[in-house]
Structure 1
């Protein structure tokens, strides 16, 4: 009985420590859930699973794109408060060796990820993203890429809480 009591007490302590730092609170609706959406053609799905880490100082997002008959594309984004720059920053790495570094700014309508670069195989792609909550159980992800000095829609996707 005593080990069970200790386990319950430590679980309560862990949950209490998982409250996010102030700067990450705009992202709190995502934490503890997976969110999944199907691309318009129906040939791929996109899933993001968010978890607080390190006493709420970090929000981890494990991202998986599934395409039937192909290996999964998997990446992880680590969101954290950059105290020197006084803003939320992120680092994204993926299983093909690509990566991004950028920032997140909360807006009146959701979360904005200003223009940054995705780098893979020696090439860089400039992109920007907006996440707009749609009720309590979904958000829209809108991504644009810059091609020849023009912003072009990369994708628009509704992800639903799983």
Structure 2
């Protein structure tokens, strides 16, 4: 057994991840951490965990919404630099069959996700937009709005704290 373990102990320590692409730098504070928030009323939580992919060329966000007595709602977002468009783009997929594609624009103190469409498994389309605003070094606020006709209505506001 010792002769098997010795070669493993002599392997070099895993290299630190490469510096993320410049376009993804505004999201770097999220990487390597899970963030959790409680919806108003305290009966639902959302936990988002971020990790770099491919030496900082992409960022993965896995999230789970938990509600007592209901199956978890699970989704995954991959952020990447769309060189052709010159912006950060994302693809979101979730366990019920829905998906969304969009962009992220860095702003002073926030990450803005302009209006885009979520397509549910039933084919229904929801137009939404989101803003994540940092709140110190250990939290950020997610504010989501959905379009109803010509108006934008609040969908949710959630403070997510570093776990």
Using the size of structure 2 for normalisation, the TM-score is: 0.94
- CA deviations 1:32-65 (Å, max 9, x no partner) are 0000000011110011000001111110000100
Partner residue, 1:103: 103
CA distance in 2, matches of 1:7, 1:93: 36
What residue number does 2:28 align with?
28
Partner SS, residue 17 of structure 2: helix
- Cα distance, 1:16 vs structure 2: 3.5
**Corresponding residue number in structure 2 for 1:135:** 136
Structure 1 stretches lacking a partner, 5+ long: none
Q: Quick check: which one's helix share is greater?
A: 1
State the Cα RMSD in Å: 0.9
Q: Distance in 2 between matches of 1:52 and 1:147?
A: 35
**3-state secondary structure, aligned to 1:40:** coil
Contact 2:126 2:146 in 1 (8 A): yes
After superposition, the C-alpha distances for 1:98-157 in whole angstroms (9 at most, x for unaligned) are 000000000012100000000011110000000000000000000000011110000001
Dislocated runs of 4+, deviation >4 Å: none
2:33–2:49 Cα contact (<8 Å) kept: yes
Partner residue in 2 for 1:57: 57
In the superposition, the TM-score normalised over structure 1's length comes to: 0.94
Partner SS for 1:84: coil
Other structure's SS at 1:27 match: helix
1:5 maps to which residue? 10
- Offset at 1:76? 0.1
Query: Following TM superposition, by how much is the alpha carbon of 1:85 offset from its aligned partner in structure 2, in angstroms?
Result: 0.5
Residue 2 of structure 1 and its aligned partner are, at CA, apart by 4.3
In 1, are the aligned partners of 2:17 and 2:56 still within 8 Å (CA)?
no
Correspondences of 1:63-102 after superposition (within 5 Å): 63-102=63-102
1:136-155 aligned within 5 A: 136-155=137-156
**Cα drift, residue 5 of structure 1:** 2.9
1:7 CA displacement: 4.2
